Structure 1
Amino acid sequence: MEAVQSPIIPIVGELIRNTPGTISLGQGVVSYPPPPEAIELLPKFLSEESNNLYKQVIGIPPLIAAIQAKLQSFNGIEIKDDNCVVVTAGSNMGFVNAVLTITSPGDEIILNAPYYFNHEMATIMAGCHPVIIETDENYQLRVDAIEKAITPKTRAIVTISPNNPTGVVYPEASLRAVNELCRERGIYHISDEAYDYFTYNGVKHVSPASFPGSSKHTISLFSLSKAYGFASWRIGYMVIPSDLLVSIQKVQDTILICPPVISQYAALGALQSSPKYIQENISKLAKVRSAVLDSLQKLEGICTIAPADGAFYFFLKVHTSMDTFTLVERLIKEYQVAALPGTTFGMNQGCYLRVAYGALQQETAKAGIERLVTGLKNIL
């Protein structure tokens, strides 16, 4: 455990608490609450006496049915005999389930940098080795480099689209190339799609598990935390090859027994809510994104901002030799604005900041970005 990095969000959170008035552009959550339909199902949960007991390890049947309908209509993923759904306590748990199921100690998992830090942490905790592949200057996949990194110990390639921490969306061609590579080499494609609803400018999300012939080697991870304002309710789900189900049940039963049933009822209500709920919230977020991007343009010459048409992040390459965490500390203490250091996402060469705007209303986000712009201009 000493080899595992400490999660950065609590560390930055402590700095924020010690600097009252700080606007946080750090943690990746949304500002809006769950839909009313999620709350309306809670009395039904409370009225059924047996709900104090453990339920199915993989999730309650009504929720699984609702998830299957969502996967079919939005992601183009059809659940048949060769794949199945497992409800989890968030998509982070889905990743841990997958890694513990498909690896043995000493195996390798390919991550694309900048990576989601919990993926790297979970890989090391499982006794495996993260193999880090750099993306290009716009944080897009370099499929040729991924292919060269595959060894006899490789068990999976991980992709995140829309991406955390960069906000980029991988094109269908890149995802198809990675998925086909996994099929050819007999390894798994772990596709993290926690931000599948969050795309802008007409960009469409693509789920690798929707590709023909992909079911037996594709593990897809989803979450209600972002799209439905469910962060603390801890509900996500996986689409997995059916032949992994017995092993994943072993992992989930050991760690969790079953996903929190009260949260599963709320999730069922959320998935039954009107499509307008997500559409209107994403539309509001798009306006925040536009205002943030306008303000960030003032950093031309100080930062490079790659195109980002997804999630609710921008990943800034700061043109400085200053230590990244030192910069983060100074921005909090001197300018009362917080961002996350790129080092926690595997970017150890150069100075990078992840800026998150999903948790803020438009005016607060604009104020936070203005503080960031002012701070970077004065510090550098």
Structure 2
Amino acid sequence: MPDFSRKIGALAGSSTVAISDRARQLQQQGVNVVNLGGGDPDFDTPAHIADAGVKAIRSGQTHYVASQGIPALRQAVAEKLLRENGLSYDPAKEIIATASGKLALYIALESLLDPDDEVLYLEPAWVSYRPLITLVGGRPVAVPLSPSENFAVRAEQLEKKVTPRTKAILINSPNNPTGRVLTEQELQAIRDVAVKHDLWVVGDEIYEHLVYDEHRHVSIATLPDMRERTVVVNGMSKAYAMTGWRLGYLAAPAALTEQILKVQQHVVTCATSFGQVAAAAALQGSQDCVETMRQEYDRRRRRISEALNAIPGVRCPLPEGAFYLFPEIDYKGYDSWQLAEYLISEAHVAVTPGQAFGESARKNIRLTYATSMENLTEAVERIKRALAL
């Protein structure tokens, strides 16, 4: 057999996908597994959004469209960014519709990085950040944050990691997996480092609508001198329960989107035509559906974190955003990989090891509460029994 790419051969697959695949395999074998390892909302896509997509299909909108995205969606994104984030972007030149937020990250990084350019990212971090940076030839540089400090970000932590090869900082708020929402003070610290060293910032804002209590999402692009050095990445999957539609978008200065668009044209041509119609309907229609889902996530968040904290050896901070719990568990000296394996084997509960998101999370596991309260309650009872053995 001829050789294949050493770069891809050295790349690990997605831990979250692997966990979900294993849970499905066990379920197909008749094992009653509660899968808390993924990140897929358990709600259906709201009816008015689905109807818009179906109508587009039936009216023949099933062909190629402009690589940048249909005008209606780009306009809807521009209006959303101005209305909700206080950001003004030209829909004709500064917004691109993409086939998922993940693809938006990929084509943005591809357009920003030369070989061996470094990207700083805050760890724990979503499992795909390191591979995406590596795939485009960059070097991922983790900035480890401490669970004991509630994963707080300080400028000096970033400064220690900056080198002459540093090109960008990648941030995610609300954060997957920790649920942290970056404060304005933390964003200011990131901004100061970016401006001082003339760096790009890529802001993954996919969970922006899922914030709780007094916390609020702020886009780093709103800070002074940041709009011209920020790529805002977002998508439809989490807020609108549209994971299967694969629709995202990005906003950036026109000089950069011109470069990103070239990558989009060669990699995917365009995002799905009828999906873009549905995405425009989501952004322009009533947002009551988003708030309804957020309130239900909030209810689950409170109840399940309280239940986990009642288990000896478990410390579960109340997440500030997104839909994940990230408890720290002290059990027989197990690290997170061992604990995740134990829980799926002994308790038939699928969780994601904290170390999949960074070595600083050796004692953490990630559980999604984007599933029914019944599933969550059952999972906690199983975990409680397993940790008592």
TM-score category (smaller protein):
over 0.9
- Out of 11, 14, 27, the position equivalent to 1:7 is 14
- Out of 21, 28, 39, the position equivalent to 1:28 is 39
- Out of 70, 74, 81, the position equivalent to 1:64 is 74
Secondary structure at the aligned position of 1:112 is classed as strand
CA contact (8 A) 1:59 1:86 kept: yes
Equivalents in 2 of 1:47, 1:34: separation in Å?
Answer: 18
**1:247 and 2:259 correspond:** yes
Offset from partner CA, 1:239-282 (integer Å, 9 cap, x none): 11211122101111111100011111111122233121111111
Equivalents in 1 of 2:256, 2:156: separation in Å?
Answer: 29
Equivalents in 1 of 2:339, 2:35: separation in Å?
Answer: 15
Secondary structure at the aligned position of 1:322 is classed as coil
Equivalents in 1 of 2:304, 2:206: separation in Å?
Answer: 22
Secondary structure at the aligned position of 2:334 is classed as coil
CA contact (8 A) 1:287 1:362 kept: no
Offset from partner CA, 1:319-349 (integer Å, 9 cap, x none): 2432432321221121111110112112267
Q: 1:82 to 1:261 in 2, by over 3 A?
A: closer
Residue equivalent to 1:309: 320
- Out of 63, 81, 88, the position equivalent to 2:98 is 88
Offset from partner CA, 1:218-254 (integer Å, 9 cap, x none): 1111111001000010001111121112210111111
Instruction: Name which of structure 1's ranges 269-278 and 199-208 shifts more when overlaid on structure 2.
Output: 269-278
Equivalents in 1 of 2:315, 2:54: separation in Å?
Answer: 50
- Out of 290, 294, 297, the position equivalent to 1:278 is 290
Among all aligned residue pairs of Structure 1 and Structure 2, give the percentage whose two residues are the same amino acid.
27
Residue equivalent to 1:158: 170
Residue equivalent to 1:296: 308
Secondary structure at the aligned position of 2:213 is classed as coil
Q: 1:173 to 1:313 in 2, by over 3 A?
A: same
Q: 1:349 to 1:313 in 2, by over 3 A?
A: closer
Q: 1:208 to 1:95 in 2, by over 3 A?
A: same
Equivalents in 1 of 2:359, 2:352: separation in Å?
Answer: 12
**1:342-357 equivalence runs, <5 A:** 342-347=354-359, 350-357=362-369
Offset from partner CA, 1:132-154 (integer Å, 9 cap, x none): 11113211223211112111111
Query: 5+ residue gaps in structure 2?
Result: 1-7
Secondary structure at the aligned position of 1:222 is classed as strand
Residue equivalent to 2:3: none
Residue equivalent to 1:125: 135
Secondary structure at the aligned position of 1:73 is classed as helix
Displacement of 1:372 after TM fit? 2.0
- Out of 9, 23, 26, the position equivalent to 1:18 is 26
Instruction: Name which of structure 1's ranges 13-22 and 75-84 shifts more when overlaid on structure 2.
Output: 75-84
CA contact (8 A) 1:82 1:242 kept: no
Residue equivalent to 2:108: 98
Equivalents in 2 of 1:139, 1:76: separation in Å?
Answer: 27
Equivalents in 1 of 2:373, 2:39: separation in Å?
Answer: 16
Q: How many residues align?
A: 375
Secondary structure at the aligned position of 2:359 is classed as coil
TM-score in terms of structure 1 length: 0.94
- The aligned amino acid for 1:75 is N
- The aligned amino acid for 2:63 is L
Secondary structure at the aligned position of 2:228 is classed as coil
CA contact (8 A) 1:83 1:215 kept: no
Alignment RMSD: 1.9
Residue equivalent to 2:152: 140
